[in-house]
Structure 1
Amino acid sequence: MSDSSAHPESGPDTVAATGQLTGILRRIADFGASVEGMFGEGDHPAFIQIDRLDGPVHAVIDGRKTTLFGTNSYLGLNFDPRCIAASEEALRKWGTGSTASRVASGNQNGHVVLERTIADFYGRPDAIVFSTGFMANLGTICGLASQGDLILYDSHSHASIIDACRASGATFKPFRHNDPADLDRLLTEATVPASRILVVMEGLYSVWGDVGAVKDLATVAKRHGALVLVDEAHGMGLYGEGGRGVTEAQGADHLVDVIVGTFSKSVGVIGGFCVTSHPALQPLRFLARAYLYTASLPPAVVASARTAIGIIKTDTALRAELWRKAERFCRSVQALGYQLCAEPGPVGSIRMRGKAQGLDMWRSLLARGIYVNLLIPPATPGGKVLLRFSVSAAHTDEDIDTFLGVLSDLTKVAQIA
């Protein structure tokens, strides 16, 4: 074996130093240069650092007090004293982490009880808890579908769904967003039996903030005999009488075979889950590699999640307060002349005319102490530039009035008046 250090002219460091990158390194370097050049000088949305949190929606960023309208803490439960107390108690009793996967030595009592809690919350006999919401989609979809199967997914689906489709080995095709007729067409044209087709959609789409046509799409899927999976990551805690999401709100529970969700939004921690009512799907945890081969959730997270789910289940006033604030905010934004991508709700996006205007608006808001999410292509449907916001029950009416006041001052900059 030759020693490359004896021939520096052929070493990889020399190649990098002379700028003659090729292959993988060249592709990554070119991508990095495009990202750096995308925003120019000034604050970069991808590298904003929160220096301190003063609750679920208030922070200090670059020494400036800032109200967070880009958080997914819809109910403010990540700072709820009951959740924090449960987390602290579990931390003292069980330590900081499980140090293993669920099938090794990481299957603790708390994980089992959390699965019972989430299954009971959804009124289904079985649940599987994953370490993240991304893993929940990855593990569930890859466990359900494989080579020879067909996955049909909504074209606005989250990246975790698309990556799961790719990793499953199944054939996969998108149907037009919220379009039952297009789904019906694809199901009719399918060359595999309907029993080998998985239809995937979301309850609430987190970019535009629009509600999924769950009942209509699931009705079409079941008429053909396909299996139905709904991702309620953003809908959980916001929609439905019991807070179980859009599936519940639309009365579609009987049409949906599997519900996937996350603990990182309304629940306020990290983790994911799937719940099922079909007895044949109970062995799914043994097929889900994202469950089998990753460390289980830390005990403190498990305890906080259980407590938060209990709050979501019983505290309907918290959900009502969220909707009061969200609807007031959205109606006021529309009254200022801004165009929203969906009907008023806790999640929404304001359309921008292009990247330059979106970046200017985003920076102007941040400079005035308001943090939102700047979304640009290719991460957005239809190639739109958007300012995404989320309203939380933890926002005060003063927080909302301040945001509206800043938006009002910026209407001329936005060229919408």
Structure 2
Amino acid sequence: MDIFDKYAQIAGRHDKVLELGTDPFGVRLDEILSATEARVDGRHTILVGTNNYLGLTFDEGAIEAAVEAVRTQGTGTTGSRIANGTYALHRQLEEEFAQFLGRRSCMVFTTGYQANLGMIVGLAGPRDVIYLDADSHASIYDGCRLSGAKVVRFRHNDPEDLDRRLARQQEGEAALVIVEGLYSMLGDVAPIAEFAEVKKKHGAWLMVDEAHSFGVFGERGRGVAEAQGVEEDVDFVVGTFSKSLGGIGGFGASSHPRFDVLRYCSRPYMFTASPNPASIASVRAALARIDCEPGLRGQIWANARQLHEGLAGLGFDLCSPMSPVIAVKMPDEGTAVWAWNRLLELGVYVNLAVPPGTPNGVCLLRCSVSAAHRSQQIEEVLGRFGQLAQELAAARA
């Protein structure tokens, strides 16, 4: 038996996707022109699927900070945080993040994926129970598996279902509830205030992954919990540097007085080389800009409104109310793949999302707007979606 035989079904689906055009899971951006534009296969392309929410990948301050860090501190740390891999930069960023979030402590991880792994593995063990929103990100599911804790899923964004399941909790079990602020596929927002009431009722702990909402939601950009006024009821917050902060890495933060014990108990934190100096330096600069420039949030919400209203006006079926993630529902996988290829031909890059990576088996064209998008660019994107709508209608006729 070939060791790759187990992937035969997946490989077969991938081959069918390739028959319809470009490989959507291997698109190469040949030249990055800006935070919102690139050259793809020789075509000037508007990027509407990058999660570059605040457009800070080309922030001059972040770039200069990264360059200076490479010059003065080298290209990498060559060690884990508990060995030789903690630099002054790491501690400085942790202190700045804790202050920004209004939390007692913060830990920096090498990737956002590892932030979820490291937090979940550190917080939960075989004697604990994790109550998990069914639509949670793969990194959260992987962290749950690695923790060895019992996992109980509850219906997506359903506090009443969580309440019923927590009511069956056994005495002596520590319960950790995990939800996301903004869900990355459909663009829907969690009712964190309601979840917080349920967790308090049952004496559980609440962790919120603000990966896609950090920098965008809330008066200061701290996420959905801030926007809903319940930050104090969230015990642990997790996020990534790879979205609004335009870098690589992740963080976990809390005001629990014993939180820092995770530095010696979380294996994904303990046994991974720490983030390189350039990444940390650029994130520090980006965080400072988010803190002092609320206009970035105003711009992304204006752009989200323009795209959401425009797509709805063209007759597309949108999955959620307005947010920086705007998911366009397609009737089936074949149509979704064809539509994705057609948009790429028209100079618009979005994300193709198909099962099993989507909730409820839906097929999506997933858009994410940026504060760096100009209104004219969004109008161009809408014009090309309009052309797509006409071609889809003609095919159905």
Q: State the TM bucket, normalised to the shorter chain.
A: over 0.9
Give the match for residue 273 of structure 1.
Answer: 251
TM-score, structure 1 length as denominator? 0.92
Identity rate, percent? 45
Name structure 2 gaps, 5 residues minimum: none
- The DSSP-based 3-state class of the residue aligned with 1:259 is strand
For 1:350 and 1:88, how far apart are their aligned partners in 2?
39
Classify the secondary structure of the residue corresponding to 1:47: coil
Are 2:107 and 1:163 equivalent residues in the alignment?
Answer: no
**How many angstroms apart in 2 are the aligned matches of 1:261 and 1:41?**
36
TM-superposition CA deviations, 1:230-277 (whole Å, max 9, x none): 000000010000100001000111111000000000000010000000
Counterpart of 1:297 in structure 2 is 275
Question: Larger RCO: Structure 1 or Structure 2 (Cα < 8 Å, ≥ 6 residues apart)?
Answer: 2
Instruction: Please state if 1:366 is matched with 2:344.
Output: yes
CA shift digits 1:272-296 (9 cap, x unpaired): 0000001022211211111100001
Q: Does 1:143 align with 2:127?
A: no
Q: How does 1:199-214 map to 2 (within 5 A)?
A: 199-214=177-192
Alignment pair present for 1:184 and 2:163: yes
Contact 1:322-1:391 within 8 A present in 2 as well = yes
Is residue 251 from structure 1 mapped to residue 229 from structure 2 by the alignment? yes
* Aligned counterpart in structure 2 of residue 220 of structure 1, from 182, 194, 198: 198
Counterpart residue number, 1:80: 59
Q: Is the 8 A contact 1:149 1:192 kept in 2?
A: no
Quote the residue 2:385 is aligned against: 407
Check if 1:345 corresponds to 2:327: no
Equivalent position of 1:69 in the other structure: 48
3-state SS, counterpart of residue 176 of structure 2? strand
- Which is further off, 100-109 or 260-269? 100-109
**Within 2, Cα distance between the matches of 1:283 and 1:98?**
22
Corresponding residue number in structure 2 for 1:392: 370
- How far residue 32 of structure 1 moved from its aligned partner, in angstroms, is 2.5
Aligned to 1:7: none
Answer with 407-416 or 270-279: which moved more.
407-416
Partner SS for 1:239: coil
Change (3 A) 1:37 1:357: closer
Gaps of 5+ in 1: 1-20
Aligned-residue offset at 1:339: 1.3
* SS at 1:50 equivalent: coil
How far 1:29 moved relative to its partner? 4.6
Structure-2 residue corresponding to 1:378: 356
Output the amino acid matched with 2:163: D
Helix, strand or coil: the match of 1:152?
Answer: strand
| Distance in 1 separating the partners of 2:153 and 2:350 | 29
CA–CA distance in 2 between the matches of 1:143 and 1:326?
A: 36
Aligned counterparts of 1:269 and 1:209: Cα–Cα separation in 2: 22
Distance 2:21 2:314 in 1: 28
Q: Using the alignment, how far apart are the partners of 2:269 and 2:184 within structure 1?
A: 25
Q: Do 2:192 and 2:225's aligned partners in 1 also have CA atoms closer than 8 Å?
A: yes
**Equivalent residues, number:** 395
Deviation at 1:412, TM superposition (A): 2.5
Matched, 1:104 2:47: no
Q: Secondary structure at the match of 1:46?
A: coil
The alignment status of 1:92 with 2:71, answered yes or no, reads yes
Structure 1 residues 412 and 318: alpha-carbon distance in aligned structure 2, compared to 1, 3 A threshold? same
Superimposed CA distance per residue, residues 94-147 of structure 1 (whole angstroms, 9 cap, x where no aligned partner):
011111111111110000101001111101110000000000000100101000
When the two chains are superposed, the root-mean-square deviation of aligned CA atoms in Å is: 1.3
